[in-house]
A and B are shown apart, each in its own frame.
Chain A
């Protein structure tokens, strides 16, 4: 009896096995760490103004929209900094970049004071994602500033250590 049942079971298993064929494949995707920053304006100007009535001059455009996209390791840190490459320069006349400050909107963005000696934090986040905020520059206007057209280049750096 036991032998017969075993035989029948073997036959039934054989039938079931033939009713389906299987094959496998492996999905593979390698996503490297990547980061990208975009700014809505690549130059801002501070229009001339009377220091008495306008001690802080807002930039034109007022808002720079910053879009930060980063793909990092799990819980990786993402930082955005800005640094002036030089003083504000008008020929041989210079003004310190610290006369320029900024405020921000948006989660993770930070206000600060411009520097030529060290990058200053504009934003810090944890993990991958897209972050969008605005930055508003202001220039400290004083009667003591020599007249001239001053300019400087700012470098934004998006990094994930």
Chain B
């Protein structure tokens, strides 16, 4: 096969793949439109000693999500911590953080993990107009924690698995 033929054949296959891609892309990309909004972006727990408040309760977080043109497929909203809560040399396990969420369903209560995403809400089909959930994070308070300012990032993921 000459170099010219090989080039033509390559271009033909390329065009074919491109057309297939273009045909497939609108069928999926156009069909699934996911929107996720978290507010506020900082979840601050109050400062109270463990005798007064065995559990620290943060101000509620609003989670707004929308799923469009999803057909009968399921959708899933998860949350995961990037690690334990960290303050220089000290740590508080991510599992010390739990949450309550409304409306339930589709939202649900859970315990934070840094190793696996935990389900915050789930359902089937579309969520349109957008649904707003309220998530209240709670931190088990303890005298055994070191003093310090602890931080950790939470990642919320809305997907159609």
Residues of A that sit less than 8 Å from B by CB: 1-5, 7-8, 11-12, 14-15, 18-34, 36, 69-74, 76, 127-130
Residues of B that sit less than 8 Å from A by CB: 10-11, 13-18, 20-22, 24-25, 28-29, 32-38, 40-45, 47, 49-51, 56, 61, 65, 81, 85, 87-90, 92, 97, 137, 139, 143-160
Q: Which residues from A are CB-within-8-Å of B25? A: 11, 14-15
Are B152 and A128 in touch, CB under 8 angstroms? no
Q: Which residue of B lies closest to A29 (CB)?
A: B45
Q: Which residues from A are CB-within-8-Å of B10? A: 1-2, 4
Are A11 and B139 in touch, CB under 8 angstroms? no
Residue with the greatest number of chain B CB neighbours at <10 A, chosen from A1, A7, A14, A27: A27
Identify which of B17, B41, B87 contacts A4 (C-beta below 8 A): B17
Q: Which residues from B are CB-within-8-Å of A32? A: 47, 147
Cα-based distance from A75 to B155 in the complex (angstroms): 32
Q: Which residues from B are CB-within-8-Å of A7? A: 14, 17-18, 21
Q: Which residues from A are CB-within-8-Å of B29? A: 14-15, 18
Are B158 and A11 in touch, CB under 8 angstroms? no
Cα-based distance from A26 to B61 in the complex (angstroms): 11
Cα-based distance from A74 to B119 in the complex (angstroms): 34
Distance in Å: Cβ of B131 to nearest Cβ of chain A: 14
Cα-based distance from A50 to B38 in the complex (angstroms): 76
Identify which of B34, B42, B87, B149 contacts A19 (C-beta below 8 A): B34
Cα-based distance from A127 to B147 in the complex (angstroms): 10
Are A28 and B34 in touch, CB under 8 angstroms? no
Are A23 and B21 in touch, CB under 8 angstroms? no
A21-B35, A23-B156, A28-B45 known; A71 vs B143 contact (CB < 8 Å)? yes
Cα-based distance from A15 to B29 in the complex (angstroms): 5
Cα-based distance from A1 to B7 in the complex (angstroms): 7
Are B47 and A31 in touch, CB under 8 angstroms? yes
Cα-based distance from A3 to B21 in the complex (angstroms): 13
Q: Which residue of B lies closest to A127 (CB)?
A: B146
Q: Which residues from B are CB-within-8-Å of A27? A: 43, 45, 81, 85, 97, 137, 150-154
Identify which of B21, B34, B150 contacts A29 (C-beta below 8 A): B150
A4-B15, A19-B34 known; A25 vs B146 contact (CB < 8 Å)? no
Q: Which residues from B are CB-within-8-Å of A3? A: 11, 14
Q: Which residues from B are CB-within-8-Å of A18? A: 28-29, 32-34
